[in-house]
Amino acid sequence: MGDPLRVAIAGLGTVGSGTVRLIEANAGLLAARTGREIVITAVADLDPRDRGFATESYRWYDNALAMAENTDADVIVELIGGAEGIARKVCETAIARGRHVVTANKALIAHHGTDLARAAEAAGVTLAYEAAVGGGIPVIKSLREGLVGNACERVYGILNGTCNYILTAMRESGRGFQEVLAEAQALGYAEADPSFDVDGVDTAHKLAILASVAFGCTVDFAAVHIEGIRQISADDIAFADELGYRIKLLGIAKRTPAGVERRVHPCMVPLGSPIAHVEGVFNAVVADGDFVDTIIQVGRGAGERPTASAVVADIADIARGNRVATFAVSAAELAALPAASMQNHRGAYYVRLMVLDKPGVFADIAAILRDHDVSMEAVIQRARAPGEAVPVVMTTHETAESAMTHCLAAIQRLPFCQEAPHMIRIEPF
């Protein structure tokens, strides 16, 4: 049995409390598996409320930064959250003082991952962030280590459980976005301010990290194209079903000749694809490697206990003395890969229009598509109501995003078009 590994935990919110509980509950297991006792020596939080475990056994700090500056722990676990402020300072201070850092903070890694990785490498310490992507799913480990032999061309996934819960509940109940969001908030699956989740920002944080690990490039959050799920209607969900698709908010990173695509937006996914069946709060990450082909991992993407599982996996790697470069390759070698413009993206599209039901409508739409070389695959008009607004849905064959952008602008200018067209990209997984 080696020396105990001393751990200090900054932030006793949901994940911090779960991490303490896991280390207490499975202490014997962890010692047997890592060959060392894992000992919490200090904790930091502003709020002294009762968390159901004996905080008096650990040195308590009200100020996490003071803890980072003074503790003799081997590892600082940052579970405060946020890209700036105290969380960032705690991590920078810990690294500067030669402490290993474990964090679940996707915003921090998405915005400052490259700089932090360089600092950690210079200091000879680990910066680990398994819990930042996919909750309890060991996705960073699988990509960096399990798929180490593969050139990875694409990685994508369902990275936000709140959005997946909302989309699943909309489909199952036929209700609209706002109603289901309110229910998700009541159940604790969505925050009071849901914008980070439903506008795709949280997914974009995680995607920026995945892209960096998969392609060995700098973490480039600014390069992510982001769309959320607020525009998805009950009609879209019903039409997707009719067309053989499920709507999922995906984060997709892909190497193309034009550069790296990093995009977050709702997608139509064929029912035959395994991730179409990943429902509710579950997350899924899919990686395509040149030797391994496709690997899919599914699990709980958030929550106290699954996230704590990922935090502790990072701590255990440190206890075992196992090291892997932060983003798969040395921070000095991380490539600043050019980003592909969204307008260069090619794919198939679903478009829903609200048009006045009168003769000549299709002819005008078809002419616009023809003029932009866009080839239609299917058209659905659900009901006839002469003189009234009805939904018209069409899907296209593969075409350029720029052509679609022009088509949609032209269609919106048609006099019978009652609202801005709704577009959802179709992904052929």
Amino acid at 31: A
Residues contacting residue 217 through CB under 8 Å, at least 6 positions apart: 211, 260, 327, 334, 335, 336, 337
Please identify, using beta-carbon distances, which residue of 296 and 366 lies nearer to its own copies.
296
Name the minimum Å distance from CB 328 to its own copies: 6
Which one of the listed residues 106, 141, 206, 248 is annotated catalytic?
Answer: 206
> Would you tell me which residues interact with its own copies (CB under 8 A)?
18, 22-23, 25-26, 29-30, 32-35, 130, 136-138, 141-142, 144-151, 216, 274, 277-278, 289-300, 305-306, 308-310, 312-313, 316-317, 320-325, 328-330, 333
Name the minimum Å distance from CB 286 to its own copies: 9
Q: Are residues 68 and 97 in contact, defined by beta-carbon separation less than 8 angstroms?
A: yes
Query: How far is it, in rounded angstroms, from Cα 104 to Cα 91?
Result: 12
Please identify, using beta-carbon distances, which residue of 40 and 325 lies nearer to its own copies.
325
Residues contacting residue 289 through CB under 8 Å, at least 6 positions apart: 147, 149, 150, 151, 152, 153, 295
Q: Give one DSSP letter per residue of 176-244, joined into a string.
A: -HHHHHHHHHHHTSS-SS-HHHHTSHHHHHHHHHHHHHHHTB---GGG-EE--STT--HHHHHHHHHHT
Q: Give one DSSP letter per residue of 365-416, joined into a string.
A: HHHHHHHTTPPEEEEEE----TTSEEEEEEEE-SEEHHHHHHHHHHHHTSTT
DSSP for residue 336: -
Assign residue 131 a region (left: φ > 0; alpha: ψ between -120 and 50; beta: otherwise).
alpha
Residue 134: helix, strand or coil by DSSP? coil
Name the minimum Å distance from CB 136 to its own copies: 4
The tokens describing 330, both together, are 């040395």
Name the minimum Å distance from CB 53 to its own copies: 15
Alpha helices in 125-160 (DSSP H): 139-141
Please identify, using beta-carbon distances, which residue of 168 and 396 lies nearer to its own copies.
168
Judge whether 206 counts as a catalytic residue. Answer: yes
Q: Are residues 199 and 226 in contact, defined by beta-carbon separation less than 8 angstroms?
A: yes
Please identify, using beta-carbon distances, which residue of 117 and 365 lies nearer to its own copies.
117
Please identify, using beta-carbon distances, which residue of 312 and 392 lies nearer to its own copies.
312
Name the minimum Å distance from CB 29 to its own copies: 6
Name the minimum Å distance from CB 318 to its own copies: 11
Name the minimum Å distance from CB 368 to its own copies: 39
Residues pairing with 40 in the sheet? 7
Alpha helices in 254-328 (DSSP H): 304-320
Tell me the CA end-to-end span of the chain in Å, nearest whole number.
48
Name the minimum Å distance from CB 273 to its own copies: 9
Please identify, using beta-carbon distances, which residue of 19 and 395 lies nearer to its own copies.
19
Residue 208 class from Cβ within 10 Å (0-12 exposed, 13-18 middle, 19+ buried)?
buried
Q: Are residues 95 and 68 in contact, defined by beta-carbon separation less than 8 angstroms?
A: no
The tokens describing 188, both together, are 């604790």
Please identify, using beta-carbon distances, which residue of 228 and 306 lies nearer to its own copies.
306
Please identify, using beta-carbon distances, which residue of 221 and 327 lies nearer to its own copies.
327
What residues are labeled active site? 206
